[in-house]
Amino acid sequence: MKDNSTTLFRILSITQKLLEGRIVSKQELADEFKVSAKTIQRDINKRLSMLPIVLEKGTGWKLDKNSTDKNLAQNYSQIIQLNNASSFIELAIIKAREAIDAADAIIIASGAGMGVDSGLPDFRGDDGFWKAYPPLKALGISFHQMANPKWFVENPSMAWGFYGHRLNLYRNTIPHRGFNILKELVKLKDNNYFIFTSNVDGQFQKAGFDSDKIEECHGSIHHNQCVSNCTDNIWSNEDEHCEVDLNRFLLTSDIPKCKYCNQIARPNILMFGDWGFNAERRNTQTNNLMRWLQNNIANKKSKIVIIEIGAGKDIPTVRNFCEEVSLQYKAKLIRINPRDYNGLQNTISIPLGGLEALEKIYN
């Protein structure tokens, strides 16, 4: 039993090294794991035979660059399945801790999955969306169709029925403990952090993060803009009160109005097919992020770690951002996601929910 778990740790460690693009030598591995060179040779031949490994004479083994990322991901998941998944997670947690310890600055990136442990829906698939909004199932309207600016013109009561309900939901939600753990982690770096999220729910601000250190790339439900864009201004809707009849899926209180022209207002959220989204606020946030990156890279030469939580594949804005920053600035990427955890080489994948993963990392 003891020997088995040691073998497993060895296999997963060697896999991780190879996936990080490193060349591993038989003798070095034997020394590191305190086993014979023969054992390492057996590991490579038998346990890791599904990986595309090539031997470079005189230096050691490395991954065959010609194999595609897709194959690698498949091979990697085979190893995880063949071995014990929980040990894989343990190893990933250790790697994540090491990466966070070694960093001077943290990027936190999140998608809808970050809210799931606070009880928020991620609207995953039509089923997930319709579970949250049964009346829309009867009408056959999907999330993609509902999240469209046309409804503010065609049926403002219904449009605000949807967004008013979500506004109330996010206002009443208490961010889960994972947000506090993230606050503790960034404190260790003298609060040198930036947040990039596609969530419109304002949960990071609510948890006490600095709003000047957040980019909400798809906007914010807590802010309104004019439907006809009579002004570039965007304003907080904290004084707005939305009553929604969920059975009829309609707003029953007054429809929020533009402060400037008294026409209909809408949330400052980037919807599908949205040519009217007012990007002023988001652009200011992007500039803050660019300045932060510039300052950390050019001036401080900081080592950055990215903690990505609950970002889906359908609209991969957050995942792409993380991968781009990771490649461009050699930043370690920790990807936390119970389902969509695979990533590019070097990614530290943690196949768990956000709260559970953060608790394990912080333990």
Ligand X SMILES: NC(=O)c1ccc[n+]([C@@H]2O[C@H](COP(=O)([O-])OP(=O)(O)OC[C@H]3O[C@@H](n4cnc5c(N)ncnc54)[C@H](O)[C@@H]3O)[C@@H](O)[C@H]2O)c1
Size of the site for Zn ion (CB under 5 A): 5
Q: Which of 37, 48, 132, 230 binds Zn ion (CB under 5 A)?
A: 230
Nearest CB to ligand X, comparing residues 198 and 347: 198
153 contacts Zn ion (rule: CB under 5 A): no
338 is written with which tokens? 């119970």
For the CB of residue 152, give the shortest distance to Zn ion in the complex, in Å.
12
Which of 113, 161, 164, 267 lies at the binding interface for ligand X (CB under 6 A)?
Answer: 113
- 264 lies in the site for Zn ion, by CB under 5 A: no
Stretch that binds ligand X, among 26-34, 68-76, 111-119, 257-265 (CB under 6 A): 111-119
d(CA 100, CA 189): 9
By CB under 6 A, residue 115 contacts ligand X: yes
Report which of 33, 71, 46 is spatially closest to residue 25, judged by C-alpha positions: 33
- The answer to whether 117 and 178 are in contact (CB under 8 A) is yes
* Binding flag, residue 255, Zn ion (CB under 5 A): no
Contacts of ligand X in 162-201 (CB under 6 A): 198-201
Nearer to Zn ion, 232 or 314 (CB): 232
Among 18, 347, 354, 361, binds ligand X (CB under 6 A): 354
Annotate each residue in 291-330 with x if it binds ligand X (CB under 6 A) or - if it does not, as one string: ------------------xxxx-xx---------------
Partner touching 353 among Zn ion, ligand X, none, CB below 5 to 8 Å by kind:
ligand X
Query: Considering the rule CB under 5 A, would residue 261 count as an interface residue with Zn ion?
Result: yes
The CB-of-329 to ligand X minimum distance in angstroms stands at 23
- Residues in 1-30 that interact with ligand X by CB under 6 A: none
> By C-beta, is 248 or 339 nearer to ligand X?
339
Residue 149 contacts which entry, ligand X, Zn ion, none (Cβ below 5-8 A, type-dependent): none
258 is an interface residue for Zn ion by CB under 5 A: yes
Return the range that interacts with Zn ion (CB under 5 A); candidates 199-207, 250-258, 278-286, 309-317. Answer: 250-258
HEC per residue, the chain: CHHHHHHHHHHHHHHHHHHCCCCECHHHHHHHHCCCHHHHHHHHHHHCCCCCEEEECCCEEEECCCCCHHHHHHHHHHHHHHCCHHHHHHHHHHHHHHHHHHCCEEEEEECCHHHHCCCCCCCCHHHHHHHHCHHHHHHCCCHHHHCCCHHHHHCHHHHHHHHHHHHHHHHCCCCCHHHHHHHHHHHCCCCCEEEEECCCCCHHHHCCCCHHHEEECCEEEEEEEECCCCCCCCEECCCCCCCEECCCCEECCCCCECCCCCCEEEEEECCCCCCCCCCHHHHHHHHHHHHHHHHHHHHCCCCEEEEEECCCCCCCHHHHHHHHHHHHHCCEEEEECCCCCCCCCCCEEECCCHHHHHHHHHC
Closest distance to ligand X from the beta carbon of 343 (Å): 12
Which residues make up the interface to ligand X (CB under 6 A)?
111-113, 115-117, 120, 122-124, 198-201, 218, 309-312, 314-315, 336-340, 353-354
Q: Which residues bind Zn ion (CB under 5 A)?
A: 226, 230, 258, 260-261
